[in-house]
Structure 1
């Protein structure tokens, strides 16, 4: 998990002369949460024409898990939190008050009532029709949002339409059996991604000054990548070095982080557990143990990720 340090927005505003973003972080104003969304950045496609000049297109197969009631449950337990849920007690602790447990207080929680409507899909600016015949959005019992499948199921999965016929200003979702053989789309396959160059961090600058306290360490993840990481004292991690903070401010932050590390165990429920179902598990390799003496006040920082060789 990562987030922007509040000062980053001010820095960006100054760099690009864009003062509009000043004071728009969560450190300065509450968040305004609208609807939920599932964003897919770019979807490639093949296009081909039949003997009559009609264009057809094909996209990669998108699939969703479906239960025995033809449902894909995607969003549940949507909860909004005010400052009284955690912020107030956390700030009071920082300012010298009693220890904050880190748990979200229910007095600051509000559970919204979900609403939905049929999603609008498009490809290259043209509206797609027919998807709603395969599945549609639905609010289920207990305020759960998901998909209701009418067609397109294959075993334990629901299949998003992948073939489309182009008609004037729109595209119509069709089945594989409706694709003319002349297009050859059924035989077209999308290439798998090749292992790319390693993601690396600079070998100088803020990554080495003041630098890590221990490392390097390596761990192989279940996705087949090899990660290299170091242990940094919290205040010495690279992201903080771009700011001209006083030694007093840095020492104060380091001291408070050490209190958090010492007081908040990793096996505590900080947010309420789901009302149904189970949380997904993390790759066990992501849970690393600090070297002896660095249990408090130190954090692991990844400096390299590459394809594992074996």
Structure 2
């Protein structure tokens, strides 16, 4: 099964082009993790550059990522993770977080694209862990540009300009709030260094398009198909769930907000230039909160492997789920109680969606309609199908360069190694680097003098922007999700200001893993 869940919302005025934030529900979509073929996001968005007039042809580049499960996730559980999902021109490079992206260390293609900013949150290489067992709490995140790295007329020694947009990930969760890390401008402008036709067209220098798609993209959920003795086709989908509140309704998105530079950039720039201290909180005068409409759709389809497009047949989604705007800033679903099953838990209730479907065909179209389990012939064998977690080979560890002359070793970390033992069963080894000396900053195509200038700015932020104050406006519904607490770290004594935690290895926990 695969497809999109589509969300209805209003358009945003074009001047709100300096980033966005949103709250997305985090929950275990499937009862059991179905193996590494599984790939689906939860509800999120795609932030592209804004252009005057039509967008350039044959150019795809954005920030996507969000909550979900990906085929290259090495240590998955039923609980989603968060990745940043920066996409350079036409997927030539991808940056998912510090030390996580496309390519390998002999030919990195985004592995150095994200610089760590927070001294209080460790970003595991495999993605940020939401607390295990989260069932519908709201994960607040967004990207706003900060004036950290200055624009310059050259990129990689060529006469290609590089912009000053440091698109910074901000979080609002129960146990961490504030900026985490940012895409270096060079992650984007490097594509123009390779091909000059992209100069000035990418997110290092372009504002963000405020009118984004909000969707849930599912590339694979396991299902089984069968035909009975009469020739009728039936299907069974892996148990799929959505969170649900006490009122029987589901919230998946809340408070989609777009920003002007006056929301944060202007105050921070003035502060960095010697003016009054910026609080870090978004200025509400520079934000626009989108309104939802009680409309939307699903393109979920069931089909066998290798099916052509005309054999991919849609599910009668609206026969059991109806999109609603519970209030103007909250989007979700209400359910036909006769066709879904409620599952209660102290951690939060879920509804199980229909598992069985029958193929109905008429002169207009074919469609998979909900079938009761008792109406599916036993001869199909679907009742005996199990969607348990499969046995898979153990994933290899993430590793970073050990070369004594690499940016990981020169000038090298100030303290470590330390370890964080995560709820996904992995252990992360990390070190404390001076901000300007971290590998991503050494690969940001800036001079040592520029890195030292930025170091001073980051030290200002570390003193003033703590992890327990408000930055993004809080939600007005639901409860905030919690990050895996093992990722919340405390700088060593003497390294509280100007130093950041950088993961250098992540591997499955075992009895043989020494603790540090």
TM-score (norm 1): 0.90
Written as runs of structure 1 = structure 2, the 5 A alignment for 1:141-152 is 141-150=327-336, 151-152=339-340
Q: 1:14 to 1:46 in 2, by over 3 A?
A: farther
Measure how far apart 1:140 and its partner are: 1.2
Partner of 1:189: 386
Measure how far apart 1:118 and its partner are: 2.9
Partner of 1:56: 234
Measure how far apart 1:13 and its partner are: 4.2
Measure how far apart 1:199 and its partner are: 2.2
The secondary structure found in structure 1 opposite 2:230 is coil
Once residues 19 and 178 of structure 1 are traced to their aligned partners in structure 2, the CA distance between those partners, rounded to angstroms, is 60
Measure how far apart 1:227 and its partner are: 1.2
Contact 1:130/1:174, CA 8 A, preserved across alignment: no
Partner of 1:19: 197
Partner of 1:137: 323
Structure with the higher helix share, 1 or 2: 1
Measure how far apart 1:33 and its partner are: 3.4
CA RMSD of aligned residues (A): 2.3
For this pair of structures, how many residues does the alignment match? 309
Measure how far apart 1:152 and its partner are: 0.6
Partner of 2:498: 297
- Where do 5+ consecutive residues of structure 1 fail to align? none
The secondary structure found in structure 2 opposite 1:7 is helix
Once residues 485 and 358 of structure 2 are traced to their aligned partners in structure 1, the CA distance between those partners, rounded to angstroms, is 45
Partner of 1:40: 218
Write the deviation string for residues 200-226 of structure 1: whole angstroms up to 9, x where unpaired: 223233322332221111121122221
Q: 1:227 to 1:133 in 2, by over 3 A?
A: same
The secondary structure found in structure 2 opposite 1:117 is strand
Indicate the larger mover: 26-35 or 224-233: 26-35
Structure number with greater Rg is 1
Contact 2:223/2:302, CA 8 A, preserved across alignment: no
Partner of 1:176: 373
Measure how far apart 1:127 and its partner are: 3.4
Contact 1:119/1:137, CA 8 A, preserved across alignment: no
Q: 1:184 to 1:10 in 2, by over 3 A?
A: same
Once residues 135 and 119 of structure 1 are traced to their aligned partners in structure 2, the CA distance between those partners, rounded to angstroms, is 10
Write the deviation string for residues 123-178 of structure 1: whole angstroms up to 9, x where unpaired: 34423232211111111135311010113122332122333334565433333233
TM-score (norm 2): 0.56
The secondary structure found in structure 2 opposite 1:260 is helix
Contact 2:191/2:198, CA 8 A, preserved across alignment: no
Once residues 13 and 53 of structure 1 are traced to their aligned partners in structure 2, the CA distance between those partners, rounded to angstroms, is 56
Measure how far apart 1:304 and its partner are: 1.7
Contact 1:120/1:127, CA 8 A, preserved across alignment: no
Measure how far apart 1:117 and its partner are: 2.4
Write the deviation string for residues 252-307 of structure 1: whole angstroms up to 9, x where unpaired: 01111111101111111112211122211222211111111111111111122222
Partner of 2:186: 7
Once residues 41 and 255 of structure 1 are traced to their aligned partners in structure 2, the CA distance between those partners, rounded to angstroms, is 44
- Where do 5+ consecutive residues of structure 2 fail to align? 1-83, 85-96, 98-181, 304-308, 344-348, 512-516
Contact 1:56/1:166, CA 8 A, preserved across alignment: yes
Partner of 1:280: 481
Once residues 44 and 203 of structure 1 are traced to their aligned partners in structure 2, the CA distance between those partners, rounded to angstroms, is 40
Indicate the larger mover: 257-266 or 163-172: 163-172
Measure how far apart 1:18 and its partner are: 7.6
Partner of 1:87: 265
